[in-house]
Structures are given as structure tokens and as C-alpha cells.
Amino acid sequence: MRCPYCGSLATQVKDSRPTEDSAAIRRRRVCPDCGGRFTTFERVQLRELVVVKRTGRRVPFDRDKLMRSVQIALRKRPVDTDRVERLVSGIVRRLESMGESEIPSETIGRLVMEGLRSLDDVAYVRFASVYRNFTEAKDFEEFLDALSGPREASEDTASD
């Protein structure tokens, strides 16, 4: 690990322990060259994942990009950050355990939608609007109708 202060590669680990959710390892490091101390968080990666985009393009999987997408959907929503971290870690574990190194972007989107649906309805709709490429208001209407189920007969006949 490169020292953030002097750039040396000769850093030493002084302490290592799992994080609270055991999804990462927290390491306290020291640089023998400049004496700088810093912390790193390292995640175990079971396999190198490649995302296959709808266009056929292949890009390396980026956990941080997944986290940013989920956080954008959840912006200004009352959801605890620990729950968001657990959601993203769970999605990554599911992707890694699929046994495939190439994952279609649709699969990732579907897993995110499943997770967001259980966390927050508004975030679920926000993410769906991008994932399903809503282009006009009726797309939202149709999606919300499907989400809430059939309307009550009393709503349709409110003029009685």
C-alpha cells in the first residue's frame, strides 16, 4: 500500500481488524520512510467481475459506482447509512457468488431494484426511472400503478 504522504511502497501494518459489519478489514499502517500513519479499509474480492453493458461494452465492476448509484436514489431519504452499506455488500456478495465473471448490467440493476424496494419506495421509483429509462410522465404513472396494484373501485367512481 502506497503512503499517502510520501508515496513510499514500504508501509507496514501495525493493527488489523474486521469492521463492524465484517465486510472489510481496517488496517492501521505506518510509513517507515516519513513516519506517517494512516488507515486503510480493504475488502476481500472473491473474483474479478466485469459488467457487460447493454451496448456489449465490457467494463470492470466498480463497487464505489454501485454505492454512488444507490446513494443518489436515496438522497434526502431517511435511510440509515448502515442499511445502505449492507444492501450494497449483499449485492456484491450475490454477484460474486453467481459463479460468473461477466455480469450483465441488467442483473445488477434488477438486484438494486429488489434491494431498494425493501428499503424505500421513493428511492425505488427514482432508481427505476433511470434503470427503465422513463421518458415521459405516463411511464411514471404506469410504473406507480403497477407498484400500488389495481385502483379501488371507489376511486374510479368518485363522482357518484
**Alpha-carbon distance 58 to 44, whole Å?**
22
Full residue range of the structural domain in which residue 91 is found: 50-149
The pLDDT-based confidence of 16 (bands split at 50, 70, 90) is confident
In the numeric block, which cell numbers belong to residue 3?
Answer: 503512503
- Residues 119, 144, single domain; the answer is yes
Closest CA to 21 of 111, 81, 61, 97: 81
Q: What is the pLDDT of residues 48-84, one digit of tens each?
A: 888 999 889 999 998 889 999 899 888 888 888 888 8
Task: Tell me, yes or no, whether 60 lies in a domain.
Answer: yes
- Residues 122, 80, single domain; the answer is yes
- Residues 36, 62, single domain; the answer is no
- Residues 62, 16, single domain; the answer is no
Task: Tell me, yes or no, whether 1 lies in a domain.
Answer: no
In this model, does residue 40 exceed pLDDT 80?
Answer: yes
- Residues 103, 72, single domain; the answer is yes
- Residues 144, 77, single domain; the answer is yes
In this model, does residue 136 exceed pLDDT 80?
Answer: no
**Alpha-carbon distance 145 to 160, whole Å?**
23
- Residues 119, 63, single domain; the answer is yes
- Residues 59, 34, single domain; the answer is no
- Residues 66, 105, single domain; the answer is yes
Instruction: Name the average pLDDT for the chain.
Output: 81
Task: Tell me, yes or no, whether 5 lies in a domain.
Answer: no
- Residues 19, 82, single domain; the answer is no
CB within 8 A of 96, min separation 6: which ones? 45, 46, 47, 49
C-beta separation of 7 from 26 below 8 A: no
